[in-house]
Amino acid sequence: MKCFYHVDQDAVGACKSCGKGLCTTCAVDMTKGLACRGKCENDVQSVIDLIDHNIKLSPIGRSLVQQSKKNSLAGSLFILGAGVIFLLIGIAMEKLWDIPGLMGLLFVAYGGYSLWRTSKIPIQMK
């Protein structure tokens, strides 16, 4: 790859902002990436700051995913439990295909689906 600004020189890397190839004269080392000298330094610093900020937030994101899984599990079990209660009411009234029984069947089906879907939520994020 050749330098975008000096086509006769080989590039030592690419700008982290615009992606242009840069030679040693045109490149500014921002410690975590290269920038076009006098053109992209502020943009590259913003990208580096954003990446550093996201790295600091990753444990918070992992915690939120774990909390979401716990909340989804609790909600799924609640719906499943309500479905069982409605099913038992429908059976006791000998009206399984009436309102309580049908509601029970729907809640059990949705609770089972929700429980299955909750099991697909990853515990650990990479």
Considering the domain architecture, whether residues 72 and 102 belong to the same structural domain is answered as yes
- Supply the pTM of this predicted model: 0.48
Domain extent at residue 119: 64-126
Q: Mind listing the pLDDT tens digit for each residue in 3-51?
A: 999 999 999 999 999 999 999 999 999 989 999 999 999 999 999 999 8
The Cα–Cα gap between 29 and 40 comes to 11
Residue with the two structure tokens 């840069």:
22
Total domains, the chain: 2
Considering the domain architecture, whether residues 72 and 123 belong to the same structural domain is answered as yes
Q: Which of 34-39's residues contact partners 24+ apart within 8 Å by CB, and which partners?
A: 36/5
CA distance to 23, 26, 32, 101, per residue, from 20 (Å): 10, 10, 16, 67
H or E stretch including 52? helix 41-92
